[in-house]
Every structure is written in structure tokens, then in C-alpha cells.
Amino acid sequence: MTIHALFTSLDLIGTFAFAISGAVAAHQKKLDLFGIITLAYTTACGGGIIRDVCIGALPPAGLSDWRYLALSIVAAGLVIGAGQLVQKLSQPVLLFDAVGLGFFAVFGAHKALVYGHSMEAAIILGMISAVGGGALRDLLLNRTPVILQKEIYASAALVAAVLQTGGETLGWSLRWVPWVAIALCFAIRYLSLCFHWNLPRFANDKE
Amino acid sequence: MTIHALFTSLDLIGTFAFAISGAVAAHQKKLDLFGIITLAYTTACGGGIIRDVCIGALPPAGLSDWRYLALSIVAAGLVIGAGQLVQKLSQPVLLFDAVGLGFFAVFGAHKALVYGHSMEAAIILGMISAVGGGALRDLLLNRTPVILQKEIYASAALVAAVLQTGGETLGWSLRWVPWVAIALCFAIRYLSLCFHWNLPRFANDKE
Amino acid sequence: MTIHALFTSLDLIGTFAFAISGAVAAHQKKLDLFGIITLAYTTACGGGIIRDVCIGALPPAGLSDWRYLALSIVAAGLVIGAGQLVQKLSQPVLLFDAVGLGFFAVFGAHKALVYGHSMEAAIILGMISAVGGGALRDLLLNRTPVILQKEIYASAALVAAVLQTGGETLGWSLRWVPWVAIALCFAIRYLSLCFHWNLPRFANDKE
């Protein structure tokens, strides 16, 4: 398997895991068929679309590559037709989601650098690529985004984006930097799920 | 009436119908004068602005053509000053809205193709042009977008966008393709209103 | 102090006041550390990012200049570590916020004109620069934006954007137009806070 084929596979696996998470959330809120497909697509592609609009990569990849829409429709169909199965697979989906998280953070940061933007833009856009879709999903479902409230999620993406951006700027080899960054993000996310790690929250002075 | 004048008329009629729907929703939520104008404008122009940002047509038409803002202010004034009248006109407004829906889907898809984007981008952006404003209206009013929950609405826009994109790609004449697409979208939307058609929703396994 | 240094100071003061308002709102909603920083950053930079995407100034300044992110992190730390102090400072923060409001409206309108856009686009984008961050803050916290509901806030920004756009188009001197516009916006906002001015709201016919 060439590097490029591996990259493409990770991209599609991550997209599919994100689409499943959007479709499951829409299904729980009893949206109709169109709503479930839209949520799957928005969760999978929303972060990348925001990134591409900000770096001037038009049209956004999520709009011009039919595979993302196709994967979203497949994910929606799977959730509708085989909800029982998807529930059994919820553990694997969380793992795929963690792989997608790291991949999107690394790829988002890399794409921003390729388009000539600064390190700071690359780090922020890497993180937005990874968590933006989930935030849009929660906005459309009318709730405060989960990533703002609990769990080490965006922070794991941030670590991956920082490592990729730093490594690429320092001229480290692209042969290993992305893989280390993805693995590190996956490990942080996996351990935080196992041990219920959360970022600190603060007592509210007003209470 | 030339083709161009007819197109412009449809655009303004659709914009006005969308602005009315935004102003009515804002008025029901008791927003202030600025809130009602903002909702009217966002509903009327939001979908087109997202489309223009995604295809690189800057500045978005909704920002650079004063007629859209003017129509939004007129719609807001009408809803505030003549609420009774607007309620009586709710049936006609639904029909104008259906005309606008088809027109925006067709025009959005056409504009994406003119800017050199792919068929898939044209179809998705046509649909976003048509339904994006309504989705933003619902987000600002803090509720899950209606289009994700019920009624054949986005689906009618999708049919129009697909027909326009396919016809244009196949080289069919622009003399009749847009009109057929708009008429088809209008017919689907009108019949779904008459007969209360909805997309399927699915039993939730978790209950 | 040169004009440029003064401009930069106003920009950073306004950004900081906006970041504080985002961090306070996130803290009240008990978001975690990441959530508080995100809300501070979104409130401070969201309006400018929307403006820059619409005028084609990529990447948006909020993403490429590290000082905005740094200020947001400082604001979040201050709110977390010294909540009591921030409560005592709530009056000064409101004043800084009013300065930032005028500055962002003026600077947003100016930047849109510099990028060659129309007067209408400059006015709307000036206003969006000033109030967009606050609207995003409220969307992420799952509530209808405050600016749509009460207080003379967006209206004060609108006055500043109109004055700056009109003055610049008429060729008035940039030596005094921005300062008058910022001062006028500040005065309107300050007086509306003192005297509890609000835009009119309208009896709902349906009740």
C-alpha cells in the first residue's frame, strides 16, 4: 500500500466514522430522512469546508469530491436500516472517530501550510478541521457543542495539529511526522475515554 | 418582458417571500426592530451568501446589491405594521416561497457551474442557496431547523438543482430547462403542502 | 503615539474586552477550560473572520495574527483565576466593549472599502465585524443572540459603519472621520446603557 493510498484510506475511514456519529445523533432526535443525511454530511465535512473557505481552497473538497457525500448517505442508511448493529459497533466507531480526529487535525494543518499560511493559522485550522463538523452537528441539533463541555477531544486534536505544524516548519520528514501526530492524538483520546479524563471545570463564583 | 427581466422578477419575488418568513418568525419570538430586520435579511440572503463564499464569488451578491437589504427592510416593516394583513396573506406567501425555493435552487446550481465547479458542487450549492437562509433563521431563533424535521422542502429544491445541473451539463437549452426545474420544484412543494406529504421518519431503537 | 500605534491599541483593547465577555459567558455556563478559551476567541475574532471570508482577505486576520489568540487565552485565564476581580471590573469592561464596538465597525467598513467593495457591503460588513462575534458566542451557548432582542448595540455599530463608509466615499479626511465615528458609537452605546434605551418591540397579534 503506497503512502497516498494509506492517506486516502485514513481520510475515508475518518469521514465515515464522523458521518456515523452525525447520523446517530440525528436519528436519536427523530429527524426525517433528509435530516439524517444532512447531519451525517455536515458532521463529516463541516470542519473541512470551514478550513477550505478560510484558506481559499475553493470549492471546498467536501463539495467537489462525490465520495464524501456518498459515504454520508451510506452512513445514514446504515443507521436507519441497522440501528441495532450500529449500537453494537459503538465501541469500534469511537475508535474510528479517534483515528479520524487525528487524521483531520494533521491533514488540516498540512493543507493550511501548503496554501502558504502561517503556523498559527495552520494549528487553529487543523483543530477546526477536526472538531468543526461535530460543533456544527450540535448547533443544528440545538445544543451547546459537546467539545466545549467535556472530555479530552479538541485538546487531542490540538496536540496533533501542533506537532504536524511544528515538524513541517522545522523541516522534519513527512515520512514519520504525520503518523506520530495521528498516533499521539489517538493515544490521548483513547486513554481519556478509558480513564474518563476531562479538562478542568471551574467553580462558578456566582453560586 | 425579456428573459432577464423575468429572472430578476423571480429573484426579487423569492427574496421577498423569504424575507417575510424570516420577519414573521422574528416577530413571533418578540425580537426588537433590529432583530426583525436581521432575521428577514438573513433568511432572504443567507443561503446565497454561503453559496457565494464557497464558489469564490466575492463579495456575496446579498452584500453588494442594495435591493436585497431594501426588500428585507420593507418585509420587516410590513410584518410590524400590518401583521393582520400578513396573516391573511399567509397562503400567497407560501406560494411565493415555493417559487423562490425553485428559483434559488436553479440559480444557485447555475452560478456554481458558471464559476467552473463540478456537478456535485453545483447540486449541493443549489440546494444550500435555496434552504440555507431558512436554516440560519432557525439557528438564530435557537431551534433545530424545520427542514431537517419535516415536510418535503429541501427535497423539492434538490430535484430542481439536479435537473438544472444535469440539463446544463448535457447541453440542453437554457431556454426551457430552468423553467421546467422551477415548475417541478413548485409542483412537488405545492402537492406536499396540499396532501401533507413528509419524508419518512424512523422508529427509534432506543425507546 | 502615532496614528498607527493608536489604531493597534484600540484594536487590541476592543479584542480583549470582547474576549472577556466571551469567557465570562462560557464560565457562567460551566464550560471546561477549552470551552472558555474557545468562547473568548470566537467572541473576539468571529466577526472579523466572517468579514475577511466575505471580502476575500485570506487567511482571516484572526487566524494569522497570534496576538488575538494570545489575548483570548489571557482573558480566559483572568476570568478563571480572578473571577471576583472581573466582576468588580464589569463596568470598565462594558466601556472597553463599547470602544471595541465602534472601532470594529469603523475598521471593518474601512477594510471592505480598501478591498474594493461597494458602500452597501462596507456598511453591512462593518456592522458584522462589530457584532458577529457576540452572535456566534450566543449561538454556541445555545441561546438567541442578545443583539436581536434588546439594547441599542448593533444600531450603534451601524451608525459608526455608515459614517465611516460615507465619509470615506465622499473623500473626507481619514484624520478625523474614524474618531468621530468611534466616539459617536461610544456615546450612543454609553447613553443607552445609562438610560436603558431599547429599540421598539411590537405587540404580537397572535396573543
Q: List chain C domain ranges.
A: 3-195
Provide the pLDDT for residue C92: 67
CA quadruple C187, C89, C10, B38: dihedral sign: negative
CA–CA distance, C94 with A76 (Å, rounded to integer): 47
Q: Examine the pLDDT at B207 and tell me if it is beyond 50.
A: no
Averaged pLDDT for residues A26-30:
83
Return the C-alpha cell found at B1: 418582458
B180 Cβ partners below 8 Å, 6+ apart? B163, B167
Radius of gyration of chain C (CA): 17
**Separation in Å, CA of A67 to nearest CA in chain B:** 10
Distance CA C140, CA A163 (A): 28
Between chain A and chain B, how many beta carbons pairs sit less than 8 Å apart?
A: 85
Average pLDDT value for residue range B64-75: 87
Instruction: Name the band, by pLDDT with cuts 50, 70 and 90, for residue B204.
Output: low
Place of cell 468588580: C88
Hey, CA dihedral for A85, A89, A90, A94, is it positive or negative? negative
Count Cβ atoms below 10 Å from residue A66 Cβ, excluding itself: 14
For A205, the closest chain C residue by CA position comes to: C83
Contacting partners of chain C (3+ CB pairs under 8 A): A, B
The ipTM is 0.73
Identity (one letter) of the amino acid at C36?
A: I
Given B29, B38, B53, which is nearest C53 (Cβ)? B53
d(CA A47, CA A21): 14
Q: How confident is the model at residue B206 (pLDDT cuts 50, 70, 90)?
A: very low
Higher pLDDT, B206 or C60: C60
Per-residue pLDDT at C59: 82
Binned at pLDDT 50, 70 and 90, residue B143 comes out as confident
pLDDT for res A207: 37
Instruction: Please name the residues in contact with A188: beta carbons below 8 A apart, sequence gap of 6 or more.
Output: A152, A155, A156, A159
Q: Give residue A16's Cα distance to chain centre.
A: 10
Residue B165 has pLDDT above 60, yes or no: yes
Cα dihedral B54→B60→B62→B67 (10° resolution): -150
Q: How far apart are CA C96 and CA C10, in angstroms?
A: 9
Distance of CA C86 to the CA centre of its chain: 19
Which chains, if any, share at least 3 CB pairs under 8 A with chain B?
A, C
Nearest residue in chain A measured CA to CA from C141: A144
pLDDT the model gives residue A2: 66
Query: What is the arithmetic mean of pLDDT over C49-61?
Result: 86
Tell me which range, B71-80, B190-199, C88-97, is most confidently predicted by mean pLDDT.
B71-80
Cα(A54)–Cα(A69) distance, integer angstroms: 21
The one-letter amino acid at A119? M
CB neighbour list of residue B36: distance below 8 Å, 6 or more residues apart: B23, B26, B27, B76, B79, B80, C202
Reply yes or no: is the peptide bond before residue B59 cis, omega within 30 of 0. yes
CB contact at 8 A, B140 and B39: yes
Backbone φ and ψ for B32, nearest 5 degrees, come out as -85, 180
Confidence of residue A206 (pLDDT cuts 50, 70, 90): very low
Per-residue model confidence (pLDDT) at position C205: 46
pLDDT tens readout for residues A125-134: 998 898 888 8
CA distance C142 to A194: 29
Q: Which residues in chain C are contacts of B28 at CB distance < 8 A?
A: 204, 206
Distance CA A42, CA A25 (A): 12
Q: What residues does B201 pair with on adjacent strands? A: A32
**What pLDDT does residue A134 have?**
85
Are residues B144 and A65, on separate chains, in Cβ contact within 8 Å? no
B169 vs A: CB within 8 A:
no
Give the residue-averaged pLDDT of C42-66. 86
Q: Which three cell numbers stand for residue A103?
A: 487524521
Strand partners, A32: B201
List of chain A residues whose C-beta atoms are within 8 Å of the C-beta of residue B124: 63, 69
- For the residues C191-196, what does the mean pLDDT come to? 80
DSSP B131: H
The pLDDT confidence band at residue C2, using thresholds 50, 70 and 90, is: low
Q: For residue range C28-37, what is the model confidence (pLDDT) as tens digits?
A: 888 888 888 8
Task: Please tell me whether the peptide bond between A178 and the residue prior to it is cis, using omega within 30 degrees of 0.
Answer: no
Contact C139 B140 (CB under 8 A): yes
Gap between the Cα atoms of C161 and C157, Å rounded: 6
Rounded to an integer, the average pLDDT of A151-170 is 86
The pLDDT > 90 percentage for chain B reads 4
Asked whether the beta carbons of residue C59 and residue A118 sit closer than 8 angstroms, the reply is: yes
Q: Does residue A85 register a pLDDT over 80?
A: no
Contact, A153 vs A131, CB < 8 A? yes
Cell of C99: 470602544
The pLDDT tens digits of the residues spanning C172-183 come to 777 788 888 888
pLDDT of residue A3: 65
Between chains, do C32 and A201 touch, taking CB under 8 Å as contact? yes
Measured in residues, chain C has a length of 207
Mean pLDDT of chain B: 82
Residues of B in contact with A38 (CB under 8 A): 148, 154
Q: Which residues contact A87 (CB under 8 A, 6 or more apart)?
A: B205, B206
CB of B168 closer than 8 Å to CB of B113:
yes
Angle at A139 between CA C15 and CA B153, to 5 degrees: 130
Instruction: Report yes or no: B23 and C197 within 8 Å, Cβ to Cβ.
Output: no
Q: C183 with C102: CB under 8 angstroms?
A: yes
| Each residue's pLDDT tens digit, C70-101 | 899 998 888 888 777 777 766 766 777 788 88
- Mean pLDDT score of chain C, rounded to an integer? 82
Q: Does A141 touch chain C (CB under 8 A)?
A: no
- What is the distance between the alpha carbons of residues C110 and C123, in angstroms, rounded to a whole number? 9
Question: For residue C52, what is its C-alpha cell?
Answer: 475577511
pLDDT of B10 over the 80 cut? no
pLDDT at C3 over 70: no
Please give the full DSSP string across chain A, using - where no structure is assigned: --HHHHHHHHHHHHHHHHHHHHHHHHHHTT-BHHHHHHHHHHHHHHHHHHHHHHHT-SS-HHHH-HHHHHHHHHHHHHHHH-HHHHHHTHHHHHHHHHHHHHHHHHHHHHHHHHTT--HHHHHHHHHHHHHHHHHHHHHHTTS--GGGTSSSSHHHHHHHHHHHHHHHHTT--TTTHHHHHHHHHHHHHHHHHHHT--------TT-
Tell me the pLDDT of chain A averaged across its residues. 82
Cβ-defined contact of B200 to A27 (cutoff 8 Å): no
pLDDT surpasses 60 at A161: yes
Contact B63 C135 (CB under 8 A): no
pLDDT value of position C206:
44
Is any Cβ of chain A less than 8 angstroms from the Cβ of C64? yes
Q: Which chains touch A (3 or more CB pairs under 8 A)?
A: B, C
Q: Would you place residue C204 in the very low, low, confident or very high pLDDT band (cuts 50, 70, 90)?
A: low
Q: Any idea what DSSP says for residue B89? A: T
Residue type, C87: Q
- Beta-bridged to residue B32, according to DSSP, are C201
CA end-to-end span of chain A, whole Å? 58
Residue with cell 493550511: A112
Q: b or e along B52-71 (b: 16 or more beta carbons within 10 Å of the residue's beta carbon)? A: bbbbebbbbbbbbbeebbeb
